[in-house]
Amino acid sequence: MRKPDLMGRDRVLPSNSNMNKAKLRKGLWSPEEDEKLIKYMLTNGQGCWSDIARNAGLQRCGKSCRLRWINYLRPDLKRGAFSPQEEELIIHLHSILGNRWSQIAARLPGRTDNEIKNFWNSTLKKRLKMNNTSTFSTNDSDSSEPRDYAIGNMIMPMHDHDIMTLCMDSSSSSSISMQGMVTGNQFDSFSMLNSRYDVTGAASLFDMSTCFPQVGMGDGFYGDHYGILEATNKTGLALPPLESRSFEEKNTVSNCRIDMESNNNNCSDNICFNNTDQRFKVENMLELENHWQGENLRMGEWDFEGFMENISSFPLLDFQAE
DNA sequence: AACTAGTACAACCGCGGAGCC
DNA sequence: AGGCTCCGCGGTTGTACTAGT
């Protein structure tokens, strides 16, 4: 963990007529700032971020406070390295959703979009590329050349426009059909990764999310997902819960206690998070109204294998855009 | 020990959408 | 309708840390 940017601590935005704005700090957050923001958030809950920044006594813009809270201070964050299961899920979801980090993060409880994005850019992308260069060479400069695309267990030489054609149902401008790809040839993006999946070529052209219209927003629980996951949900298959983005609204201040002095590293029964130089322990931080509690699933403990099994074996995908 | 290159990740920036007046 | 503010997202940057020489 990095130490606070002591130089950045004194960095300020250029002054203007507004003295408050003149003192706005940038750069890394100090432990003191973190503490202020945590205390304020736990006491007052989420509101207008610019007000939060002001009322919490922080010389930061609201945007910076929001980012710090969402990406680092939120007590429901799961810190630490990504598990192999999480890695698999990220790869899989990325093959479906592309760079929609917030949507990927929504399906990885305790992880933030920023964290996943960084992990992807710094680790997974390179790893996938390494794996693929040994088995699959593409000529990115010439998209007219047919490439090998994996669909299920099949490797199919295709032109880029074929891929586009597959994603478009020519019979209707509003209807998108994946039947031809999926029916009979089980679509499995993992196979693409495991066999001949080319990150720079096929993935970008084969970005499933571009093929799927955004289906209705539903009742909010899986509100912002795309068709492929909607289908999964509708079939009653196990999906991980969306990360509770509005947990602040549910938290009960009276149940909160921050133990700033505690160095107890045992987090098994508590929600813990690391600060730059401190470890905070939050006991009963919130009434995690986990939608999955009824299924005895806790954060990070959902049925990953079941999910992966289900998501990669859709029997039929035929989406109708509204 | 000193230097360099590579890596990881926190934070910033710019943009677009939504809501309000 | 147009302007403003706020929020959220994805891309990018900056820098502490680490490994290699």
Q: Which amino acid is at A17?
A: S
Is the Cβ atom of A50 within 7 Å of strand C at any atom?
yes
Task: Say what the pTM is.
Answer: 0.54
Q: Does the pLDDT value for residue A4 go beyond 80?
A: no
pLDDT at A251: 38
CA distance A153 to A194: 10
| Protein-to-nucleotide distance from the CA of A12 to the C1' of B11, whole angstroms | 14
Q: Measuring CA to CA, how many Å separate A299 from each of A59, A99, A222?
A: 34, 24, 16
Q: Is the CB of A122 under 7 A from strand B?
A: yes
CA of A101 to C1' of C12 (A): 15
Predicted confidence (pLDDT) at residue A166 exceeds the cutoff of 50: no
**Is A309's pLDDT higher than 70?**
no
Give the residue-averaged pLDDT of A85-97. 84
Nearest nt by C1' to A276 Cα: B10
Instruction: Give the residue-averaged pLDDT of A232-237.
Output: 34
- Per residue in A237-295, pLDDT (tens digit) is 334 444 333 333 333 333 333 333 333 333 333 333 333 333 333 333 333 333 333 33
Question: In angstroms, how far is B17 C1' from A313 CA?
Answer: 34
Q: Which nucleotide is nearest to A27 (CA to C1')?
A: B11
Residues A180 and A71 sit within 8 Å (Cβ to Cβ) = no
Residue A280 near residue A208 (C-beta atoms within 8 A): no
